[in-house]
Structure 1
Amino acid sequence: MKSSCLTVLIASLATLAGAALPIAAVAQQPPIRIGLSAPLTGTGGAYGKEEEDAAKAAAAYINDAGGVLGRKIEIVVADDETSPTAGVAAARKLIDVDKVIAITGLWSSAVALAVKPVAIEKGVAVLANGSADEITQGDNKGLVWRFQTNGQDWGRAFARVVKGDGAKTASVLVLQTPFTLSQVQPFAETFKSLGGEIKDIVYFNPNQPSYRTEVEKVFSAKPDAVFVASYIPEFSAIAREVFRSGYDSKLYTYSHAADSQGKFVQNVGKEAAEGVNHVQLVPVGRSEAYKLYLKLTKQPSDALLAFGPNVFDQIVVLALAIEKSKSDKPAEFVKEFIPIANSDAPSIGDPVEALKAIRAGKPFRFAGATSDFKFKPNGDQTGLEYGHFRLHDGVSKLVGSTR
């Protein structure tokens, strides 16, 4: 009897000691490993470091406050080389060797589509930046979530921005990738429904030595506006060609192609960049989470970034879901994604404050760094607002927004 009482007493003291030393407990527990598949090289190489810095900053901020479930978050980074083949190889290593519970990042839609079936087979969560509609289609077993707008919504948003900017006619110059191709039909249909006319749709391939033929075909018809659906290398080359040729149709593209922390202006010069329009999710610069993201990644307070905030939100939502579900099992914690983002409760943008609310049993909803999003049942985001920016004297200025 005495032995039994002594055992209970020792166990109780151990429990109290553990409760009094949460940081020590974090150090003793194995980390929660989260994979980051980032385009550190290849055509998306301009954005890989941005994603890596965001993931590590979010994890460090949460770890410094005690971690999740008494454990630290460890970010395991893999270069997917912006290639589906390399992406699958990276995913297999992250899953089989590093034992990650989720794969984040996935900037390229093509890489995300290639990685998705591998992760689903292994029961690992996928949090992707790619916009191709197919990423969230099919039976994803609740494991696939998009932290970005989908292709259809991108296309519709661009149509509203272009038409709202006064264009009566428009053409599309589109790079052949899953991400960009998914936007052509929604753009054309929405623009027509708003009373506009589509003059032409011209496709081009990555890494062409010249885009002169495509530029001449599209711009010689003198549309009011041209939506150039491409990434920064191709858009820079096209913008230079348009400027040299003296065409005056207004240019519209993504913020990651026409801003990217000033890289586009560096590529083409202020004169060629003048008046170029670009679109991305907002509220950038206004939300609590975005300001925190900029501070933690040591960015200027007026920086305009597209993919780092997506990854920041991915790590934060994972951490909150794991804490709320009290589980590091993907099949369990993914059930908390919708409650965390969609709850009819006060918004919180600071992940540490959100973790405190979970532990105190207080209702809240997480308001993200990229946009104040909510989730659809299929893993897509909804309720997004798109900012319309215009370059003037080499600087991007917000001139309007649309939903």
Structure 2
Amino acid sequence: MTSFTIGRRAALLGAAGAVTTFAIGGRAFAQGEPVTFGALPPLSGAGGPYGPAMLRAIQGVVEEANAAGGIRGRQIRVVAEDDQTNPDAGVRGARKLIDVDRVSAIMGTWASSVTTAVAPLCWENRRPLFTVSGADSITQLPHQGYIFRTQPNSRLQIQTGSDWLLAKGARRIFHLAAQSPFAQSSQDVLAEKFRAAGGQVTGFIVYERDKTNFRSEIDQLMRSRSDTVMLNGYLPDVTILLRELYRAGFDGRKFTFAYAAPPSIFQSLPNDVTNGLITFQPSPDVDSAAFRRLKDRFGNTDVDPYSAQTNDHATLAILAAALAGDASGTAIRDNVRKISQGEGEKVSSVTEGLRAIAAGRQVNYEGSSGPVEFDDKGDIRGTKFRFEQAEGGSFKLLEIV
């Protein structure tokens, strides 16, 4: 297991900041022991294209907060573990973060299978878990309020994707899904939506992700006379599926989640294979001040939805602890909604939020991924979606809805 920490540089940034104590309610809070947060992104495996940027977003928020004096004068430290997009590795990483590093919260889990495996450790140890995983089942767990999901759940994602496809004329869709916690729930929503519109799911196959060919699955698709195929998998298997669809001469609409076909897919497949592929994903709030600030920090690196969300994970945890005057996991859990929804002063950065809290004002953080308002289960209430199409080795924006 590989660990990553930021501490000394962040501490130096904090020492250089203009604010080293906060006065709240007339009381000054002196600098104490550092507050430690855990990051558990996929730095390798199927989520590897996203994990490093997700961690970078978290680190950027922490450095900004430390430069402003930290949490009521306490510096912030991040310890990161690579979950390898693997539940077993995720559990090992979470155990270390909780038992050894004594983190106050964990953020950045990506794959639903990893989040499902890690979640019980978090609520049993009273540590909030901030996640970008989409499976409906995650927030249906008995998590006692310790899960906050910034990614729309799979029902909302499939509903949005289905509505878009139906509006574009899709009527006969074949569903190829990797074995995952959201395969069946995705199928249930897809069938419901297409049936209501007079369409049909012409086939549903759940496959093992580590297969090296999918000839039998593609043969069934070709016999189904479908006008659309939904590829509900991850980058390694979707890459193979796209190659085999091209060889089989499938001329229908190819549709997948953007995380299954990131821009790196053009390095593995020729343009003839990828041309026409349509992807969709939750869209960051590209017009927000928080997104623009993150984009400036990333420079030439694109800000994907998951980096925008982990930027918000770190900000939410820090501001919740600052408002509570307590960095325990339970205190963070109990204060997340108090700093992210309601009638407070709108803030778009951790620095703005810390200053407002220090002055005794209520805040309402609006993030780079959009308004971060959570329902009683911990699900994000809503977001926009971005649809793109592969053309000549790059993705072109179709629309944001």
| The two structures share one fold, judged by TM-score above 0.5 | yes
Q: Distance in 2 between matches of 1:103 and 1:269?
A: 39
Q: Is the 8 A contact 2:212 2:240 kept in 1?
A: no
For 1:77-88, list aligned pairs within 5 A: 77-88=80-91
Alpha-carbon distance between aligned partners in 2 of 1:214 and 1:344, rounded to the nearest angstrom: 52
CA distance in 2, matches of 1:47, 1:145: 19
| Pair 1:274 & 2:275 matched | yes
Shift in CA distance, 345/29, structure 1 to aligned 2, threshold 3 Å: closer
Judge conservation of contact 1:151–1:180 (CA < 8 Å) in 2: no
Aligned to 1:308: 307
- Which 10-residue stretch deviates more, 104-113 or 288-297? 288-297
Q: Is the 8 A contact 1:280 1:386 kept in 2?
A: yes
Residue deviations 1:116-160 (CA, integer Å, cap 9, x gap): 111211111111222122211133122111121112112211111
Equivalent residue for 1:67, pick from 58, 70, 77? 70
Alpha-carbon deviations, 1:274-329, whole Å to 9, x = none? 121111112453322222222223344xx351322221111011111111222112
Alignment-derived partner of residue 35 in structure 2: 32
The residue identity in structure 1 corresponding to 2:326 is S
Cα drift, residue 21 of structure 1: 6.9
User: 1:289 corresponds to which residue?
Assistant: 290
User: What is the Cα deviation at residue 32 of structure 1?
Assistant: 0.9
**Which of the residues 144, 150, 165 maps onto 1:141?**
144
1:66 match: secondary structure:
coil
The 1:201/1:378 distance shift into structure 2, 3 A limit, reads: same
Q: Aligned partners of 1:71 and 1:219: how far apart in 2?
A: 61
Q: 1:23 aligns with which of 20, 36, 41?
A: 20
CA distance, structure 1, for counterparts of residue 285 and residue 134 of structure 2: 19
What letter matches 1:114 in structure 2? A
Deviation at 1:184, TM superposition (A): 1.7
Q: Which residue of 1 aligns with 2:337?
A: 338
The Cα of 1:358 is off from its aligned counterpart by 2.4
The answer to whether 1:325 aligns with 2:324 is yes
Q: Letter of the 2:257 partner, please give it.
A: Y
Task: Give the whole-Å Cα distance in 2 for the aligned partners of 1:111 and 1:310.
Answer: 17
- Report the Cα distance in structure 1 between the residues aligned to 2:215 and 2:287, rounded to whole angstroms: 40
Q: Which amino acid aligns with 2:38?
A: G
Spell out the pairing of 1:1-400 with structure 2 (5 A cutoff). 22-23=19-20, 29-259=32-262, 262-300=263-301, 303=302, 305-344=304-343, 347-400=346-399
Instruction: Determine the C-alpha separation between the residues in 2 that align with 1:289 and 1:222.
Output: 46
C-alpha distance in 1 between matches for 2:143 and 2:377: 8
Q: How far does residue 395 in structure 1 lie from its aligned partner after superposition?
A: 2.6
1:344 Cα deviation from its structure 2 partner: 4.0
| Deviation per residue, 1:330-382 (Å, 9 max, x gap) | 21222222232222456432222222232334444222222334210110111
SS at match of 2:371: coil
In structure 2, what residue type is equivalent to 1:328? A
Distance of 1:55 and 1:379 partners within structure 2:
20
The structure where helix makes up a greater share of residues is 1
Amino acid in structure 2 at the alignment position of 1:99 = R
In 1, are the aligned partners of 2:178 and 2:207 still within 8 Å (CA)?
Answer: yes
- 1:70-106 per-position Cα deviation (integer Å, ceiling 9, x unaligned): 1222110112222222221211111111010111111
**Distance across 2 between alignment mates of 1:331 and 1:108:** 25
Shift of 1:50: 2.1
Instruction: Report the secondary structure of 1:188's partner residue.
Output: helix
> Corresponding residue for 1:5?
none
Shift of 1:250: 0.7
Kept in 2, the 8 Å contact 1:84–1:114? The answer is yes
Unaligned runs of 5+ residues in structure 2 are: 1-16, 23-28
Match of 1:14 in 2: none
CA displacement, residues 206-235 of structure 1 (integer Å, 9 cap, x when unaligned): 110101221221134232211111111111
Alpha-carbon deviation of 1:27? 10
- The amino acid that maps onto 1:325 is A
Q: In structure 1, how many angstroms separate the alpha carbons of the residues matched to 2:355 and 2:190?
A: 43
Letter aligned with residue 286 of structure 1: D
Pair 185,391 (structure 1): closer, same or farther in 2 beyond 3 Å: same
* One-letter amino acid of the counterpart of residue 304, structure 2: L
Q: Is the 8 A contact 2:284 2:370 kept in 1?
A: yes
Contact 2:190–2:201 at 8 Å: present in 1 too?
no
Cα distance change on mapping 1:339 and 1:401 into 2, 3 Å:
same
Q: 1:181 to 1:47 in 2, by over 3 A?
A: farther
Q: For 1:16-65, what per-residue CA distance to the aligned partner results, in whole angstroms no more than 9, with x for missing partners?
A: xxxx9733899953211000112223332222212221211121122222
Residues 292 and 246 (structure 1 numbering): CA distance in 2 closer, same or farther, change over 3 Å? Answer: same
Amino acid at match of 2:389: R
Using the alignment, how far apart are the partners of 2:336 and 2:130 within structure 1? 11
Could you tell me whether the CA contact under 8 Å between 1:219 and 1:249 is conserved in 2?
no
Aligned 8 A contact 1:202 1:218 in 2: no
User: Aligned partner of 2:291: which letter?
Assistant: Y
Name which of structure 1's ranges 35-44 and 231-240 shifts more when overlaid on structure 2: 35-44
CA distance in 1, matches of 2:318, 2:31: 19
Which ranges of structure 1 fall in alignment gaps of 5 or more residues? 1-19
Question: CA 1:219 to 1:374, structure 2 compared with 1: closer, same or farther past 3 Å?
Answer: farther
The 3 A distance-change label for structure 1 pair 93 and 375 is same
Rounded Cα–Cα distance in structure 2 between residues aligned with 1:58 and 1:177: 32
Residues 373 and 384, structure 1, Cα contact 8 Å, conserved in 2: no
1:41–1:228 Cα change, 3 Å: same
After superposition, give the CA deviation of every residue in 1:234-254 in whole Å (9 maximum; x if it has no partner).
111111111222211111111
